[in-house]
Structure 1
Amino acid sequence: MTQKIRDVMTPGPVTVPRLASVRDTARWMRDAAVGDVLVAGEDDRVYGLVTDRDPVVRVLADGRHPDSTRVGDVCSTELVGVAPDDAIGDAVDLMRRHALRRLPVLDDGRAVGVVSLGDLAMDRDPGSALADISAAAPDS
């Protein structure tokens, strides 16, 4: 039987409203010990994704202020996602084709999880260095 995305995804992704400030978003990421959050629109549908790298590259480097810049203005909005019942191989193919490290898992446009390269490595090759790194506790 083919394994499904729901079998390997990280459920309950951190989401932030698209009108949240970049600083508040960075705090949510820090407090949740995650490197990415999904950005939700007013209807709770996923609007975009922001990584821990985005505030540096898209805000600070451009001279913008993290308190007055809204995360919806700097997040990636052209998302590639998967559904919980999609096959794991589909996620691998999408990540490879689009050079992505993580994919939102969407159910009717709403976030139910995230599947990352690390999640897939722990499932497909649990002895690999990437699986070991992904399984380790995050630095504080």
Structure 2
Amino acid sequence: MKKTVAEVLKSKPISNVYSVAPESSVFAAVKLMAEKGIGSLVVIDGERLAGIVSERDYVRKVAVQERSPANMKVSDIMTSTVITVTSTEDSRHCMELMTSNRLRHLPVVDDGQLVGLLSIGDLVKDIISAQENLIQHLEQYIRGE
């Protein structure tokens, strides 16, 4: 059975979506990611989704180039062309999008409003859970229960 993005988001233990403004320092963004134990932040400019910034962006555009995160803005390193999904799309489609585009996070946007953030980990956990349920049902069937 395919799950919708909304169903996957509901199963997350913590549904907070952390964000940062484009003019925030890269240091502040990285510090927030470290404090929250997360790998990315959505970048919100007013009410608009302006981009996404990740640990990968930091490593590739700041650390490897030996630049100072305190003197850089999030807008300098964020990905501004963001692939999003809606809460009605199915999890398999999201997995395909993430795999083909080499993404780890997908913002979920309904009617122009950010409603969640889906990670590759969320989808993997969902797949594992579905497989465990299938195995349990098959074992019960085999035992005649």
Normalised TM-score (structure 1)? 0.79
Following superposition, the deviation at residue 2 of structure 1 comes to: 4.4
Structure 1 residues 126 and 45: alpha-carbon distance in aligned structure 2, compared to 1, 3 A threshold: same
Code of the aligned partner of 2:22: R
Task: Specify the alignment match of 1:108 in structure 2.
Answer: 111
Q: Residues of 2 paired with 1:121 and 1:85: CA distance? A: 18
**1:69 aligned partner, one-letter code:** M
Give the match for residue 26 of structure 2.
Answer: 22
CA RMSD in angstroms comes to 2.1
How much does 1:120 deviate?
0.9
Q: What's the CA shift string for 1:13-61, capped at 9, x where partnerless?
A: 11101110000001111111111111111x2221111111322220233
How far is the alpha carbon of 1:112 from its aligned partner? 1.8
One of 35, 39, 42 as aligned partner of 1:35: 39
CA distance in structure 1 between the partners assigned to 2:66 and 2:96 by the alignment: 37
Gaps of 5+ in 2: 132-145
1:83 matched to 2:86? The reply is yes
**Identity of matched residues, %:** 29
Runs of 4 or more, structure 1, over 3 Å off, are none
Please report the TM-score for the alignment, with normalisation by the length of structure 2.
0.77
Q: Distance in 1 between matches of 2:62 and 2:124?
A: 32
Q: Which has the higher contact order (CA 8 A, sep 6+)?
A: 1
Distance change (3 Å), C-alpha of 1:127 and 1:112: closer
Distance 1:45 1:13 in 2: 14
Where do 5+ consecutive residues of structure 1 fail to align? 129-140
Distance in 1, matches of 2:108 and 2:130, equals 25
Determine if contact 1:39/1:49 at 8 Å carries over to the other structure.
yes
Count of paired positions: 127
